[in-house]
Structures are given as C-alpha cells and as structure tokens.
Amino acid sequence: MKSIILCAGKGTRLRPLTHTSAKHLIPIANKPVLFYAIEAIKDCGIKDIGIIIGETGEDIKSELKEGDKWGVSISYIEQKEALGLAHAVSVARDFLGEEKFLMYLGDNLLKNGVENYANKFIQGNYNAFVLLTEVDNPRQFGVAELEGGRVVQVVEKPKEPVSNLALIGVYFFDKNVHQAIKNIKPSARGELEITDAIQWMIDQGYKVGAEVIKGWWKDTGKPDDILEANRLILEDIERDVGGAKVDEKSQILGRVKIGKGSEIINSKIVGPVIIGERVKVVDSYIGPFTSISERVEIRKSEIECSVVLEESKLEYIKGRMQRCLIGKGVEIYHSKDLPRVYEFTLGDHSKVGLL
Ligand code: G1P
C-alpha cells in the first residue's frame, strides 16, 4: 500500500502565519503538523509516500527532504491548481499506479493514529474505506449515512444533513477510485470532490466501508484549531526537565517538558507545557497548554493556553496573555520611554487584542 498526503492548500485562514510559512509546517506542541501525518502513515507499515504540493512546496521539500528522518521514501507531486481532493488523486495517478492507498489531508491530526483502520480496509476487502466522527456542524463537512457498517450515501457540505457523521481527512482506496474520478464533474465550489467519487463507487455497487473513530480528530485550518490541537497533544506529554537549567526560585509543576540549553529563572511553569531548546524564561509565569518553540525569550510576563514560535521575545507585558498564537521572531514589549505610545509593526491579517 502507498500513501499520499495532500499539502497543496495555501492556508489563507491562518494568515499572517502562512504569509511566511506553509500551514502544514506550523508546529503543534513544537512539532510541525505534517510530521504527525507522516508518523501515522509510517505506523501502518507504509514506506512509499507522495506529498502533493502547491505554492508552499519548496518549504515542505526542504523540511521533509527524501524522508530519511522517518525511514520512508518521499516523492513530491505538484498540484498546480487547487481543484479539489479528487483532482489531487488524479495528479498522483502515475505515482499510485494500481496500488491501494491511504490518502491523508496534511493538516489533519488524529489521536490514535490510523493503523487499526488500515488493517480493517485491507482485511475487509473494501474498495473504499472512510473514517467518520460526530460533529455539531455537519453542514461544513462531507457527511455519511451508514447502514450496518456499509456507507449508503455521502454528501459534500449538505444543506440538510442526513446524519452528524462527518468524513475526516483520512481515506483508503483501491484502484477503482481512479475510474470514479473520471466520472465526476466539478461541484458548485468548482472542485472535483472526493465525496462525489465515493458516491459514484457506492452507486456502482463497490464495497465502501466506514468506521466512527475513537478519540479526537482535528483539522488545523484556523487559529482556534491550532490552539485546540495544541491543547489536545499537550494532554499526553510527559514530564522531562532534565536538560534545562532551573534556578532555586523557580517552580516547575506537573507535566512540563523543557529542551536542552533552556534556562528558567525566578519563574513558575504549570503543565502541561512544552518548551523547546535554548529558551530563556525570566521572572515569568507560563500556564497550562502552552507551547514555546526554541530560542524564545520571555521576561516579566505571563502567558497560558498559547503557542509561541521560534525566536520571539515577550517582555514586561502587564496583562496575562491567553489564547495567543505568536509567529516567528515576533517582539512584544512594554515601552518604558515617554511618550507612552502603542508602537506596532504588524504583518497583513494580524490580530491584536488590547487591554
Ligand atoms: C474536505 C472534504 C470533506 C471533509 C473535510 C474534512 O473539506 O471535502 O468531505 O469532511 O475535508 O476536513 P474541505 O476542507 O475541503 O472544505
């Protein structure tokens, strides 16, 4: 079995972070979201992975290279226009050949991996197998109707959903999906929908199975989703402060992981928290569900439930920061000189909430 990971999307809903970084490389608990997908695929015993890339392809290539880091072989396949998930499968046609494959949307995260479902797909001899989860807002997803473990209908973004079971971004197919894709037309949003290809397979009598996943699933398309995914991943981290320098006045409580070469001085950290390498925290408080990337500096400030990317500096901030998503090399400081003015240099689509 092979796999493709879809990474062509631009991530417009994650601006300004995605002005300078591919959305698939935004770290969740200090690890790019795409790495979680590769690990989950590798755990299924799949070695041959095709990454479908678009405008942000060069960044993704320089991060993943040929996949040696994971012991897999990565190929890159260009999708020049974002014409839908089924279109992405069609650009990967030569890479996939006649093999069965796992298709994974590169910004999706699942708690329990996908190995279990890969086995069910193979053992059950399905032509297609989808994963489902209950959602409150089915109108925003592809939605499935089940009858005894078989899928009888799938509809993309239905106005009147037949169930609250949404298709998540992990799909298994055999070669028959290629025929299905040749037979579908673009949807109202101008995309070749994978949901329509699955419906075509159902209509032709192919065996389409589904399973409602156990554990959480998150699509990290929006800033709130990044914070929530970060919270979910941090739920499972373990304490490890061995490599850090922590002075006597500091308190490190609960499940806190701190990278090598980091210094914690006169500060309080309450887990779950992850802190990368060579971070400096002085006279500060870092509260639960916070991820701090490498080489960040935090002085006389308080922050919780947030994600701070590398080389940013937060200094002398009076109010506690909460639910912040702070990019790379950002500086937030309290101006001590007169006149006491707000002084901003903000990228396009930045969002600042003031006290
Ligand atoms: C896509 C699929 C949809 C699925 C969703 C999961 O939607 O078309 O069926 O439920 O991913 O994230 P999109 O993100 O393109 O709106």
**pLDDT tens by residue, 132-170:** 999 999 999 999 999 887 899 999 999 999 999 999 999
Identify whether 158 is preceded by a cis peptide bond (ω within 30 of 0). Answer: no
Question: Which pTM does this prediction carry?
Answer: 0.93
Residue 71 scores a pLDDT above 90: yes
| Beta pairing class for 208-212 and 245-246 | unpaired
For residue 271, how many C-alpha atoms fall within 13 Å in the half-sphere facing its CB? 21
Please tell me if the CB atom of residue 156 comes closer than 6 angstroms to any atom of ligand 1.
Answer: yes
The pLDDT of residue 343: 81
Q: Are residues 178 and 93 in the same domain?
A: yes
How does residue 340 score in pLDDT terms, banded at 50, 70 and 90?
confident
Instruction: Report, as an integer, the average pLDDT of 72-98.
Output: 96
Q: Is residue 48 part of a domain?
A: yes
End-to-end CA distance of the chain: 54
The pLDDT of residue 125: 96
For residue 240, give the amino acid letter: D
Q: Which of 177-191, 298-312, 337-351 has the lowest mean pLDDT?
A: 337-351
Q: How wide is the angle at C-alpha 110 spanned by C-alphas 176 and 16, nearest 5°?
A: 100
Distance 268 CA to ligand 1 centre (A): 41
Q: Which two tokens stand for residue 236?
A: 């499972």
Q: Are residues 284 and 318 in the same domain?
A: yes
Helix (H) or strand (E) holding 281: strand 280-282
Q: Are residues 157 and 44 in the same domain?
A: yes
Please tell me if the CB atom of residue 88 comes closer than 6 angstroms to any atom of ligand 1.
Answer: no
For residue 314, give its domain range: 245-333
Please tell me if the CB atom of residue 107 comes closer than 6 angstroms to any atom of ligand 1.
Answer: no
Tokens 């959903």 appear where? Answer: 161
85 in helix, strand or coil? Answer: helix
The pLDDT of residue 14: 84
Q: Are residues 67 and 194 in the same domain?
A: yes
Q: Which two tokens stand for residue 39?
A: 């690990």
| Beta pairing class for 165-173 and 101-105 | antiparallel
**pLDDT tens by residue, 242-279:** 889 999 999 999 999 999 999 999 999 999 999 999 99
**Mutate which of 7, 105, 187 for ligand 1 pocket (most atoms within 8 A of beta carbon):** 105
The pLDDT of residue 124: 95
Q: Which two tokens stand for residue 155?
A: 């509809």
The pLDDT of residue 110: 93
The pLDDT of residue 334: 87
Please tell me if the CB atom of residue 169 comes closer than 6 angstroms to any atom of ligand 1.
Answer: yes
Partnered with residue 170 across adjacent β-strands are 104
Q: Are residues 140 and 47 in the same domain?
A: yes
Q: Is residue 115 part of a domain?
A: yes
Residue 85 scores a pLDDT above 80: yes
Report the C-alpha gap between 29 and 38 in whole angstroms: 16
Nearest CA to ligand 1 atom 3: 142
Q: Which two tokens stand for residue 265?
A: 């001085």
Instruction: Report, as an integer, the average pLDDT of 73-82.
Output: 95
Instruction: Report, as an integer, the average pLDDT of 45-50.
Output: 97
Q: Which two tokens stand for residue 118?
A: 């890969």
The pLDDT of residue 267: 98
Q: Is residue 342 part of a domain?
A: no
Q: How much of the chain exceeds pLDDT 90, in percent?
A: 84
Average pLDDT, the chain: 94
Q: State how far the alpha carbon of 320 is from the alpha carbons of 215, 286, 353, in Å.
A: 32, 10, 12
Q: Are residues 107 and 190 in the same domain?
A: yes
Q: Are residues 37 and 139 in the same domain?
A: yes
Q: Are residues 155 and 252 in the same domain?
A: no
Q: State how far the alpha carbon of 63 is from the alpha carbons of 21, 75, 207, 236, in Å.
A: 11, 13, 38, 25
Q: Is residue 294 part of a domain?
A: yes
Atom of ligand 1 nearest to the CA of 108: 12
Q: Which two tokens stand for residue 219?
A: 């699509």
Report the C-alpha gap between 268 and 220 in whole angstroms: 29
How does residue 346 score in pLDDT terms, banded at 50, 70 and 90?
confident
Q: Are residues 202 and 277 in the same domain?
A: no
**pLDDT tens by residue, 226-242:** 999 999 999 999 999 98
Distance 198 CA to ligand 1 centre (A): 13
Distance 131 CA to ligand 1 centre (A): 12
Report the C-alpha gap between 88 and 175 in whole angstroms: 15
For residue 347, how many C-alpha atoms fall within 13 Å in the half-sphere facing its CB? 13
Nearest CA to ligand 1 atom 7: 141
Atom of ligand 1 nearest to the CA of 141: 10
What CATH code is carried by the domain that includes residue 65? 3.90.550.10
* Phi and psi torsions of 105, nearest 5°: -80, 125
Number of separate domains in the chain:
2
Q: Of 37 and 9, which is predicted with more confidence?
A: 37
Q: Which two tokens stand for residue 184?
A: 């579908």
